[in-house]
Amino acid sequence: MRISTEQYFSTSSSDYQKNYSGVVAAQNQATTGVRVQTAADDPVAAAQLLLLQQQKDMLGQYTGNITSLQNSLTNEESVLQSINTAMQTAQGLALQAGNMQLSNDDRKAIAAQVGAIEDQVLGLLNSKDSNGNYMFSGTKTDTPPYTRNNDGTYSYQGDETPLSLQVGSNLSITAGDTGKTLLESSTNAGRTQATVIPPTVNDGKVSISAGLVTSGTAYTKNFADGQPYKLTFASSTQYSVTDKDGNDVTSEITGNGTFDATKEGASSVNLRGVKFDITLNLGSNVSTGAPSDALVAGREFTLESKPDSFSVSRTASNASTAQLTGGSVTDQAAYSSTFPNSGAVIKFTSGTDYQVFAQPYSANSKAIASGTIAAGATSITTAGVTFGISGTPGAGDQFSVSATSNKNMNALDTLGNLRKALLTPADGDQVAKNNLKDVLNTSVANLGNATAQIDQVRGSIGARQNALDVQSQENTSLGLANTSTMSSLANVDMGQAAIDLTLQQTMLQASQLAFVKISQLSLFSRM
């Protein structure tokens, strides 16, 4: 085979360049300490390094999220502690106002203090974080969680979805809590009422408190099923209680219907998870025995839960002038099982037929109930609730119905009710004083329930902070392992790098010498 001079020079030049590139690569590795500088250096290691770099970036994001969450939870804990302190102060004021020797002016002074606490708690609940977002509105961070209505009550404007951040590959931690979690689920101890049954007159001489729920379980399972109850006084020391079916349940009550209104704690009616207190104000000139018995015997009271209230509004685009009004529960079982907690929309498909949907209503909503208005009827009953109706509805008419339950009460409404009660004159009016006692007792119990609810949330915050500490340590360990693995894959062994560089330099020098020697050969040098 004949090798031309051009082929020889081309081959030698290519070998020289290859060896020179090897020297440059070896020098770069020895200088930088990095073995894999491009994917061509080690394709497998380069792919692994890419995955490890992505993991490193995620760990960095997790670290930032953990710091953000720790700051957010610390701020929330501080706000909740301030709220609890304010409510405990309000509890003390309610207990102070329980002294019936105070005058109207004294109670007004206490009401002013309660009003200041009410404003303080509202401001704390509407706190913003360092980014200017409302802390307790859930995902509706630009909406104040609580707003004061025209009637002095409060409405929650946020949603029930707390914000969360991912702090690990399989772990997300909520950044805060919603007002719904904080206050709206706080149990209302004042869910019951005692009502005078005619011909008994509510003159304040014989009174029964509105009642306080002492056991939510017993109230739900037993009291609610048997209401309304009727309490009948036989004398100034004896009473009996019957349930809705007329069954005598007096034997279930401690004392078996006997009470002593002159002794503290001896005149309580503990009925199926609800405590009612009997108070006698017969006058100083009425002695015990027959005179007092004559004033008390035969008086009757109804003991039951406060009914839910309903608010009905017609859609502005309704073609007819028909209107739904009122709203009262007439079938407790149907109401409990069917009426949606979020409220309902009643939509008429004709002048007599209607369907009921859960709010929020959309074109894809499915009816939860339906019905037909009887000819000449002035009311309709659906989902256990009866509404009055006037006029003839048109097809497409809609009415929104919201229900206000007495099961829960937020602390803001409790403070508002307490303030209003303290501003109501009661001097010289025994009925007004009895009503004030009911509000004070309910306020003390509800503020205690709200404080306990917030303490549960604070406990949850502590648990989340502990979880963040554990996850932070785990992320640190993963980061160290990640760095070690990346170093072993990407970095060069300096001893090996020196050997490789010497080898590449030797190969380059050999190729240079070989080229010089061979390039000088010719046919004439062999003649």
Q: What is the pLDDT of residue 520?
A: 57
Q: How far apart are CA 527 and CA 518, in angstroms?
A: 17
pLDDT digits (tens, 9 = 90+) for 383-430: 889 999 998 899 999 999 888 888 888 899 999 999 999 999 999 888
Q: What is the pLDDT of residue 18?
A: 58
Q: What is the pLDDT of residue 120?
A: 96
- Nearest Cα residue to 306 out of 470, 472, 191, 431: 191
- Nearest Cα residue to 227 out of 203, 247, 251: 247
pLDDT digits (tens, 9 = 90+) for 127-170: 998 888 899 988 888 999 999 988 888 888 888 888 888 888 78
The type of residue at 450 is A
Q: What proportion of the chain, given as a percentage, has pLDDT over 90?
A: 39
| Total residue length of the chain | 527
In the chain, domain spans: 1-33+493-527, 34-185+407-491, 192-306, 309-404
Those residues of the chain that have pLDDT short of 70 are: 1-53, 55-57, 286-289, 481-527
Q: What is the pLDDT of residue 37?
A: 57
Q: How far apart are CA 47 and CA 113, in angstroms?
A: 68
Q: Residue 465: in which H helix or E strand, if any?
A: helix 430-490
Q: What is the pLDDT of residue 68?
A: 84
Which residues in 105-235 belong to E strands, given as ranges?
Answer: 146-148, 154-156, 164-168, 171-174, 192-196, 206-208, 212-213, 229-233
Note the pTM of the prediction, 2 decimals.
Answer: 0.74
Contact present, 504 and 23 (Cβ < 8 Å): yes
Which residues, at least 6 apart from 523, have a Cβ–Cβ distance to it below 8 Å? none
Look up residue 56 and give its two tokens.
């490193």
**CATH superfamily of the domain spanning 34-185+407-491:** f41 fragment of flagellin, N-terminal domain (1.20.1330.10)
Q: How far apart are CA 226 and CA 337, in angstroms?
A: 18
CA distances from 283 to 224, 288, 363, 426, 434 (A): 35, 11, 65, 18, 15
Helices (H), 273-401: 290-296, 332-338
pLDDT digits (tens, 9 = 90+) for 197-237: 998 888 888 999 999 999 988 998 899 889 899 999 999 99
Helices (H), 207-265: 216-218, 224-226
- Nearest Cα residue to 214 out of 434, 413, 445: 445
Secondary structure string (H, E, C) spanning 44-110:
HHHHHHHHHHHHHHHHHHHHHHHHHHHHHHHHHHHHHHHHHHHHHHHHHHHHHHCCCCCCHHHHHHH
Q: What is the pLDDT of residue 46?
A: 55
Q: What is the pLDDT of residue 52?
A: 57
Q: How far apart are CA 348 and CA 367, in angstroms?
A: 12
CA distances from 443 to 91, 114, 449 (A): 7, 11, 10
Q: How far apart are CA 101 and CA 256, in angstroms?
A: 33
Q: What is the pLDDT of residue 508?
A: 53
